[in-house]
Amino acid sequence: NVLENLKKIVSDFLRGKEPYEIAVENFVKELQKTLLRADVNVKLVLELTKNIRERALKERPPPYISKQEWFIKIVYDELSSLFGGDIKPQVFPVKTPYIIMLVGVQGSGKTTTAAKIAYFYKRYGYRPCLICTDTYRPAAYEQLYQLSKQIDVPFCGDPKSSDPIDIAKKCLSYCINNNTNIIIIDTAGRHGYGEEEYLLKEMQDIAKAVNPDEVMLIIDASIGQKAYDLALRFHSATPIGSIVITKLDGTAKGGGALSAVAATKAIIKFIGTGEKIPELEVFDPRRFVGRILGLGDLPTLIDKLKSIERSSDLEKRLTKAIATGKISLVDLYLQIQTMRKLGPLSKILQLIPGLSLLPVDDKQLKISEEKMDKWLAIINSMTYEELRNPNIIDKSRINRIAIGSGTTADDVKELLKYYELVNTMIKNMKRRYGLLRKLGI
């Protein structure tokens, strides 16, 4: 996979000795070359590198991170949006039985993926069932049957029938009667490339008969950016569609396929990364990019990036808290975690525009590492109800929380007191912040 090349570019950049501007320019050029080789669309590549250059010149890193590290964070952000942004696909069904119908051209990896998906859900405790409705390719029945045996999942089909809709209906009752709760329907894929219209038509015919909860389009990564048209039409044809991109392990063009599909705003749910049944992953753009950039080999950088993300989340929460004059225990939890990485609360509050002008009593808010550990454990042991409304925490709840978190009742009381203190402070801030805003500061 050519995208693997990015790891080297990143580590060269971080170790390089050239002046920052030159190193950035070299990085951008190498990045462009790599993405083009991975079949990413030229326009997308140019847009991406323009954003990276602009941000690299404009943005100032926070004090605890170097310019070089901040640059990698920019690349990480921008590449993540190229591959779909912050989306985390929802793979666990909201209802059962849940019917998934797979469509795709022959050879795309549809049958293999049907079994992979069944196996994926089985591992999470669901009871999947596989259905073969492919009446065109005699081997399809046998292939899915064998795969279902391998993973020990019920299977249904009818090699003698030539009516896919009839098979689908009968097998659906079979699966439901067998107490399965994720039903995966494999369909025929006799169409060639360019025959998308037929594919979409057939999809609609079978869909009418079985009323699926989700239709998954299987795309072979080796078609590269050609995936764009297919995904776009599919995406506009069905609101319940998602996409699986297969064979990412076997092609140089994976980057092209992923970015092209992401550009249509279709949801990529899974990626296939090998021939074996377990080689299926939920597609998370940020995780994917983290991996191709080799961030896993740079644990301190990852740590810093995580704390940046956490602190910007906290910033948002605190801004909201100050606007409403109320802070939740969940905010407090994040605050304690962030303090560990970034230092005292006053420093975090300074990140919020306007707030650096306000005096914060740091001494009063300072807590020891040991206490942070205890308090995090305490908050973790609270129920959702208690987190939302700490006022209901009475003596017996205090004792239960203490036992649950391996702390003492005094520890719990102390945390609640601290929480009160922060709340009072936030209330005061709301008043003063409102005043500052009125003054136009």
Q: What is the DSSP letter of 299?
A: H
111 is in an annotated binding site: yes
**110 lies in the binding site for ligand GDP (CB under 6 A):** yes
**107 lies in the binding site for ligand GDP (CB under 6 A):** yes
Beta carbons of 244 and 270 less than 8 angstroms apart: yes
Say which amino acid occupies 373. Answer: D
**109 lies in the binding site for ligand GDP (CB under 6 A):** yes
Say which amino acid occupies 413. Answer: K
**213 lies in the binding site for ligand GDP (CB under 6 A):** no
Beta carbons of 105 and 193 less than 8 angstroms apart: yes
DSSP codes of every residue in 300-315: HHHHHHHHHHHHHHHH
247 is in an annotated binding site: yes
| Paired residues of 186 in beta bridges | 102, 132
**84 lies in the binding site for ligand GDP (CB under 6 A):** no
Question: Which x/- pattern over 276-315 shows residues binding ligand GDP (rule: CB under 6 A)?
Answer: ---x------------------------------------
Stretch that binds ligand GDP, among 197-205, 268-276, 283-291, 298-306 (CB under 6 A): 268-276
188 is in an annotated binding site: yes
d(CA 227, CA 220): 8
Length, in residues, of the chain: 441
Beta carbons of 99 and 171 less than 8 angstroms apart: no
| Position among 273, 335, 337, 338 found at the interface with ligand GDP (CB under 6 A) | 273
**164 lies in the binding site for ligand GDP (CB under 6 A):** no
Region of residue 440 (left: phi > 0; alpha: psi -120 to 50; beta: else): left
| Paired residues of 246 in beta bridges | 220
Stretch that binds ligand GDP, among 15-23, 101-109, 196-204, 331-339 (CB under 6 A): 101-109
187 is in an annotated binding site: yes
Provide, rounded to whole angstroms, the least separation between the CB of residue 117 and ligand GDP.
12
d(CA 64, CA 74): 16
| Position among 16, 61, 274, 344 found at the interface with ligand GDP (CB under 6 A) | 274
Q: Which residues bind ligand GDP (CB under 6 A)?
A: 104, 106-112, 189, 246-247, 249-250, 272-275, 279
Binding-site positions for GTP read 104-111, 186-190, 246-249
Binding-site positions read 104-111, 186-190, 246-249
